């Protein structure tokens, strides 16, 4: 088929929407010049804590052309995971993104279908799919692709949808008309900074990852520091505080992805159910969940720390 660069956009966007993505944007696969010094400083200040992988592949993290030969375009996509379903009120808290099936599997399936569609409809297009598991600065590309702005909590915020979404990328060797970044709409609001239980948002647009509850409950493999004892806000996996208080999330609407529906037992479990959690129950409730990343011992450590 004979398409122009501009018609590629609408073709790809339409298919992305059919696959369930809420937004799709395009940016030129180029060196992230603005992000390079910020990333270097953040790493030098050890704000990645024990997340050693953040310091790996520095060059690839900043230049998608080192990940895909001949890369010309980064296609950024958003997949909504917001839900108004809630856990039992006395249960230790789980981040909303982990209620259902592990997003890595769900999104990779969709991205592979999208890449196949592009190859079938447009022709020989080479590319790779990325979901938070390779050195790709997804929020930076989301900003460049016009999908939102970087909030003061360093989450990508979309004016129509808030921030409860996953970000994914297709990096392809097809030239496509690019989108323009949008304006920052945080204004004078400091709700996320004021609400952070561990003061991990050390300045507007800067998070010390080594102080974040998500870091303590997911990334940290050793013991959680005792000084965090009264600051965990009852979170056992991840943390949604800076998103829950963000005014833009009043525009969040429930997702329609069946694979994100939580296991029926998950929302009913109360405080004592969690404290008495067995490995069998863990395997049943979190069979395909991102929570498996902490393993049973890790989740038990988190729950016991909250006692």
In percent, the amount of the chain with pLDDT more than 70 equals 91
Does this model's pTM top 0.75? My answer is yes
Active site residue 132: yes
pLDDT tens per residue across span 54-79: 555 567 778 899 899 999 999 999 99
Domain that holds residue 4: 1-307
β-bridge pairing 206-207 and 156-157: unpaired
List C-alpha distances in Å: 136 to 1, 36, 126, 131, 133: 31, 13, 17, 9, 8
pLDDT tens per residue across span 204-213: 999 998 899 9
Which of 104, 296, 301, 276 minimizes the C-alpha distance to 217?
Answer: 301
Please tell me which residue in 132, 179, 184, 233 is annotated as part of the active site: 132
Cα of 296 vs its chain's centroid, Å: 22
How many CA atoms does the CB half-sphere of 172 hold within 13 Å?
Answer: 26
pLDDT for res 307: 86
pLDDT tens per residue across span 168-221: 999 999 999 999 999 999 999 999 999 999 999 999 999 998 899 999 999 898
Number of domains in the chain: 1
Q: Quick one: 294 exposed, middle or buried, by C-beta within 10 A (0-12, 13-18, 19+)?
A: buried
Which of 214, 217, 240 minimizes the C-alpha distance to 297?
Answer: 217
pLDDT tens per residue across span 22-33: 999 999 999 887
């Amino acid at each position: 088929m004979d398409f122009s660069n501009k018609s590629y956009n609408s073709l790809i966007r339409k298919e992305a929407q059919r696959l369930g993505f809420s937004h799709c944007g395009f940016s030129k696969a180029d060196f992230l010049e603005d992000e390079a010094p910020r990333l270097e400083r953040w790493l030098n200040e050890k704000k990645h804590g024990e997340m050693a992988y953040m310091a790996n592949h520095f060059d690839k993290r900043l230049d998608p052309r080192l990940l895909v030969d001949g890369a010309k375009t980064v296609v950024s996509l958003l997949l909504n995971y917001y839900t108004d379903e809630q856990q039992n009120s006395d249960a230790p808290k789980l981040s909303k993104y982990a209620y259902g099936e592990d997003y890595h599997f769900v999104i990779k399936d969709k991205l592979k279908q999208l890449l196949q569609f592009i190859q079938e409809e447009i022709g020989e297009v080479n590319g790779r799919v990325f979901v938070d598991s390779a050195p790709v600065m997804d929020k930076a590309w989301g900003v460049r692709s016009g999908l939102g702005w970087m909030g003061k909590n360093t989450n990508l915020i979309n004016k129509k949808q808030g921030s409860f979404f996953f970000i994914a990328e297709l990096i392809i060797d097809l030239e496509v008309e690019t989108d323009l970044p949008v304006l920052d709409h945080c204004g004078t609001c400091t709700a996320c900074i004021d609400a952070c239980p561990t003061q991990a948002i050390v300045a507007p647009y800067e998070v010390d990852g080594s102080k974040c509850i998500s870091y303590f409950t997911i990334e940290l493999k050793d013991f959680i520091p005792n000084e965090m004892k009264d600051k965990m806000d009852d979170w056992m996996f991840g943390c949604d505080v800076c998103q829950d208080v963000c005014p833009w999330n009043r525009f969040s609407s429930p997702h329609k992805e069946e694979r994100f529906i939580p296991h029926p037992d998950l929302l009913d479990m109360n405080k004592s159910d969690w404290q008495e959690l067995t490995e069998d129950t863990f395997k049943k409730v979190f069979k395909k969940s991102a929570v498996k990343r902490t393993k049973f011992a890790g989740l038990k450590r988190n729950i016991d720390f909250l006692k």
